[in-house]
């Protein structure tokens, strides 16, 4: 037991009053004249002794009565998290951290976790001393919303001003920041954390926990989610997206609630039209995968979403998509000789004879000094002899802007120095030329799940694979993905990324002296696929996390246009391009959904935002999970329930006992009245 007002205990000295009166009455003598003392002597052994015992009992009752009253006024409590006399009579600092990240928008009984936390906070603030220095903070973005005393009239309005967001927070870094930002001199330091606490601290928190042992922590959880299905991921299976190609999407759905979900619909929507649906049941804490296939409606930017019915947490019920369906690809062919270019041009024109889809330009250059690629989507370089350092820099800039390259590597002695320069931007180094002599090397597909050869329009792919007589043996690394390899395990076709672009690298050229690729039936659909993969600009439509900036590439000719961004809620913002970088930097991505970019009033592109993976519902951590960081004696875990204010007070200060001592005082008062009152019958017996 401890006391919230221990200074009142000095009133216990009042116990000396009845003791003093009792002692004085023993020595005070009144002389009364009697005719005889014979009868008094008879009373000495019995009645007088009873009277003395009665007086002593009354003395004890009066002592207990006074003690009970004093104990009641000292506000006794059972032993709580904070020693009562400390929390009541010393200067103290209170820091409140309110988690307002996306996961705190989950609901229980119609109230979001954030609203429950704010309401509970306002009910317990009066329990702190009026002189307590209070700092109230939020985590998204991390900032102080109130600093002052508990009796400040603005305190409640500041708590109400904490709004829900769809952003991610690092609750542990926020705690560390607010605890260490300023020197705190108060001897009593308490920290209240209102959060669902789904993740423990990482190593960065351990390195900064300076004075954490001086604090008392209250981790207050708003509740638990009972009904929640969430889309954890949607991933395109095929990379080629055209009007005549099925868009294949693999969706993963997880039941993170405590209720089983029978016959729940999962829908796929393209441009506000439902194109697929499946009904399925979900057991608790289980995940299922679904494959959706649908044709796009039209060329341009395809906007879609995967949708679940609304439940206790709505932010994981939708997964937004934005992908380009190509309508035109601008392709440039550069070769050392005109004959080589004509072979490539013939293959590409067999794909699109009227050049409605493929816009082709060609150049025969033995020595490539500069590359002007501002209006080019796909660059095909065949058998280069000389490539200057400036041309390699142009190529690197082309990759940074999302350009794609198809490269056919020949062998020239003068090319070796350029090979070393190219290796600096991710190209494989050239080792030597391999010649099969009178024989040839067979070709095989490296992996069965290669997306390049998946659903390719060739009757028998294995029979259409080329025979190779000569090739350049390059030195590859783990960043290079092999699609085709020879029967001696050397690669023929390799893919790698550079900047924001893709590169497909052939280690042999289109020449019948090197291989029979020019006459193989698979070469046309293969080159068509490679052109699509390298020419599809997915940089602008790539998703970003909530609150992360988005970079949009724009052509130089459109830099002076008017640019606007429309948020998922319909808010429009004017954006000024960055002329030196030829693009738009969109910083305001605070909403979940699809942002649309317009130029001169016409739609240019769009991109979706994603929920941070730590804002998906998971099981909350327990006290034991962070005992290595915070001593168990310095923290308590509380769940918001009915009558939270009293529960918190009893946890912090202990259970109040003043009513018990008031009852004892009344009982002692009643006993003193009964025992101290004269008994008429006894008096008659004595007198008789």
DSSP codes, 122-160: HHHGGGS-TT-EEEEEEETTEEEEEEEETT-TTHHHHHH
Residues 403 and 373: beta-carbon distance below 8 Å: yes
- In this prediction, residues 443-471 reach a mean pLDDT of 83
- In this prediction, residues 308-330 reach a mean pLDDT of 91
**Residue 569 in this model has a pLDDT that exceeds 90:** yes
- In this prediction, residues 656-673 reach a mean pLDDT of 79
Architecture of the domain delimited by 544-610: Sandwich (2.60)
Residues 509 and 496: beta-carbon distance below 8 Å: no
pLDDT for position 484: 93
Poorest-pLDDT segment among 283-292, 307-316, 353-362, 411-420: 411-420
- In this prediction, residues 31-39 reach a mean pLDDT of 63
Residue among 112, 217, 96, 93 at smallest CA distance from 158: 96
Question: Alpha helices, DSSP H only, in 142-278?
Answer: 155-160, 171-180, 203-206
**Residue 393 in this model has a pLDDT that exceeds 60:** yes
Residue with structure tokens 């067979």?
A: 442
- In this prediction, residues 108-135 reach a mean pLDDT of 91
- In this prediction, residues 509-523 reach a mean pLDDT of 91
Of the pLDDT bands very low, low, confident and very high (cuts 50, 70, 90), residue 555 is confident
Both tokens assigned to 52: 């003395």
DSSP-assigned letter for residue 578: B
pLDDT for position 210: 61
- In this prediction, residues 159-179 reach a mean pLDDT of 91
pLDDT for position 291: 95
Of the pLDDT bands very low, low, confident and very high (cuts 50, 70, 90), residue 686 is very low
* Cα–Cα dist 525/331, whole Å: 16
Of the pLDDT bands very low, low, confident and very high (cuts 50, 70, 90), residue 679 is low
Residues 6+ apart with CB under 8 A from 360: 331, 332, 333, 345, 348, 349
HSE-CB for 452 with a 13 A CA cutoff: 24
Give the 3-state secondary structure of residue 15.
helix
**Residue 44 in this model has a pLDDT that exceeds 60:** no
Of the pLDDT bands very low, low, confident and very high (cuts 50, 70, 90), residue 39 is low
**Residue 486 in this model has a pLDDT that exceeds 80:** yes
**Residue 683 in this model has a pLDDT that exceeds 60:** no
**Residue 4 in this model has a pLDDT that exceeds 70:** no
pLDDT for position 140: 92
Chain segment 587-636, per-residue pLDDT in tens: 999 999 999 999 999 999 999 999 999 999 988 888 888 888 888 888 89
* Cα–Cα dist 469/117, whole Å: 73
pLDDT for position 599: 94
* Cα–Cα dist 584/607, whole Å: 13
Kindly report the length of the chain: 688
Residue with structure tokens 């056919």?
A: 408
Residues 459 and 452: beta-carbon distance below 8 Å: no
Architecture of the domain delimited by 229-321: Sandwich (2.60)
In the CATH hierarchy, which top-level class contains the domain 87-216+630-653? alpha beta
Give the 3-state secondary structure of residue 682.
helix
Domain ranges of the chain: 2-78+658-687, 87-216+630-653, 229-321, 329-535, 544-610
Residue among 139, 129, 142 at smallest CA distance from 94: 129
- In this prediction, residues 413-438 reach a mean pLDDT of 81
Of the pLDDT bands very low, low, confident and very high (cuts 50, 70, 90), residue 688 is very low
Of the pLDDT bands very low, low, confident and very high (cuts 50, 70, 90), residue 135 is very high
Residues 6+ apart with CB under 8 A from 524: 347, 350, 351
Residues 353 and 345: beta-carbon distance below 8 Å: no
329-535: in CATH 3.40.50.880: yes
Range among 335-349, 567-581, 618-632, 645-659 with highest mean pLDDT value: 567-581
pLDDT for position 687: 47
Q: What is the dihedral of CA 141, 147, 149, 151, to 10 degrees?
A: -60
* Cα–Cα dist 462/470, whole Å: 20
- In this prediction, residues 642-662 reach a mean pLDDT of 77
Sheet architecture: strand order including 142-149: 142-149, 133-139, 92-98, 188-194, 216-221, 635-639
Radius of gyration of the chain (CA): 41
219 φ/ψ sector (left φ>0, alpha ψ -120 to 50, else beta): beta
Residue among 415, 434, 523 at smallest CA distance from 474: 434
**Residue 322 in this model has a pLDDT that exceeds 50:** yes
* Cα–Cα dist 576/557, whole Å: 15
**Residue 397 in this model has a pLDDT that exceeds 80:** yes
* Residue 444 dihedral angles phi and psi, to the nearest 5°: -140, 155
**Residue 38 in this model has a pLDDT that exceeds 70:** no
- In this prediction, residues 157-167 reach a mean pLDDT of 94
Rounded percentage of the chain residues whose pLDDT exceeds 70? 89
Per CATH, 87-216+630-653 and 329-535 having the same topology is answered: yes
pTM, 2 dp: 0.72
Residues 574 and 553: beta-carbon distance below 8 Å: no
pLDDT for position 666: 85
495 φ/ψ sector (left φ>0, alpha ψ -120 to 50, else beta): beta
Give the mean pLDDT of the chain.
85
Report the alpha-carbon angle 291-297-299, nearest 5: 110
* Cα–Cα dist 250/423, whole Å: 36
Rounded percentage of the chain residues whose pLDDT exceeds 90? 40
* Cα–Cα dist 634/59, whole Å: 45
């Amino acid at each position: 037991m401890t006391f919230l007002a221990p200074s009142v205990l000095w009133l216990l000295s009042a116990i000396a009053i009845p003791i003093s009166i009792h002692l004085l009455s023993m020595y005070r003598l009144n002389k009364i004249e009697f005719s005889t003392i014979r009868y008094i002597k008879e009373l000495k052994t019995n009645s007088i002794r009873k009277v003395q015992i009665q007086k002593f009992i009354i003395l004890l009752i009066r002592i207990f009565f006074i003690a009970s009253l004093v104990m009641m006024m000292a506000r006794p409590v059972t032993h709580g998290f904070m020693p009562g006399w400390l929390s009541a009579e010393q200067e103290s600092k209170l820091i409140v951290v309110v988690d307002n990240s996306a996961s705190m928008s989950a609901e229980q009984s119609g109230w979001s976790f954030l609203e429950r936390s704010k309401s509970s906070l306002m009910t317990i603030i009066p329990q702190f001393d009026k002189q307590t220095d209070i700092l109230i903070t939020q985590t998204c973005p991390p900032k102080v919303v109130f600093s002052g005393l508990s009796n400040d009239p603005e305190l409640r309005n500041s708590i109400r001003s904490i709004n829900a967001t769809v952003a991610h927070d690092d609750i542990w870094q926020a705690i560390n920041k607010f605890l260490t930002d300023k020197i705190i001199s108060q001897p009593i330091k308490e920290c209240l954390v209102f959060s669902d606490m789904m993740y423990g601290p990482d190593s960065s928190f351990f390195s900064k926990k300076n004075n954490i042992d001086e604090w008392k922590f209250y981790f207050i959880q708003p509740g638990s989610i009972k009904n929640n299905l969430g889309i954890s991921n949607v991933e395109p299976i095929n990379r080629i997206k055209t009007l005549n190609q099925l868009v294949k999407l693999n969706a993963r759905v997880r039941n993170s609630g405590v209720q089983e979900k029978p016959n729940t619909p999962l829908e796929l929507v393209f441009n506000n039209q439902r194109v697929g649906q499946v009904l399925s049941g979900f057991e608790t804490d289980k995940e299922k995968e679904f494959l959706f296939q649908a044709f796009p409606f039209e060329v341009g930017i395809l906007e879609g979403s995967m949708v679940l019915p609304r439940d206790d947490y709505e932010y994981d019920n939708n997964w937004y998509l934005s992908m380009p369906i190509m309508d035109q690809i601008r392709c440039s062919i550069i070769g050392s000789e005109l004959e080589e270019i004509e072979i490539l041009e013939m293959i590409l024109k067999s794909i699109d004879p009227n050049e409605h889809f493929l816009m082709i330009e060609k150049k025969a250059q033995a020595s490539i000094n500069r590359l002007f690629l501002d209006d080019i989507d796909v660059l095909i370089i065949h058998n280069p002899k000389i490539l200057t350092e400036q041309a390699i820099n142009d190529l690197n800039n082309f990759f940074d802007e999302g350009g794609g390259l198809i490269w056919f590597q020949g062998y020239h002695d003068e090319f070796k120095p350029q090979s070393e320069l190219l290796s600096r931007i991710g190209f494989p180094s050239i080792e030597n030329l391999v010649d099969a002599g009178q024989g040839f090397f067979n070709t095989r597909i490296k992996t069965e799940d290669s997306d390049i050869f998946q659903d390719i329009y060739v009757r028998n792919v294995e029979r259409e694979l080329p025979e190779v007589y000569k090739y350049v043996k390059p030195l590859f690394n783990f960043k290079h993905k092999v699609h085709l390899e020879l029967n001696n395990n050397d690669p023929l076709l390799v893919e790698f990324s550079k900047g924001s672009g893709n590169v497909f690298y052939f280690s042999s050229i289109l020449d019948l002296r090197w291989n029979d690729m020019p006459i193989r039936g698979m070469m046309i659909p293969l080159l068509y696929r490679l052109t699509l993969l390298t020419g599809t600009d997915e940089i602008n439509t790539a998703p970003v996390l909530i609150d992360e900036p988005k970079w949009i590439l724009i052509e130089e000719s459109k830099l002076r246009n008017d640019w606007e961004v429309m948020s998922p809620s319909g808010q429009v913002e004017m954006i000024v391009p960055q002329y030196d970088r030829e693009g738009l930097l969109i910083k305001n991505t605070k909403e979940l959904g699809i942002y649309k970019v317009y130029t001169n009033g016409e739609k240019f592109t769009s991109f979706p935002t994603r929920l941070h993976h730590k804002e998906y519902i998971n099981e909350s951590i327990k006290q034991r999970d962070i005992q290595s960081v915070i001593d168990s004696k310095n923290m308590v875990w509380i769940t918001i329930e009915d009558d939270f204010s009293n529960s918190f007070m009893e946890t912090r200060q202990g259970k109040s006992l003043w009513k018990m001592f008031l009852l004892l005082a009344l009982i002692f008062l009643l006993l003193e009245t009964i025992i101290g009152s004269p008994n008429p019958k006894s008096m008659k017996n004595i007198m008789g």
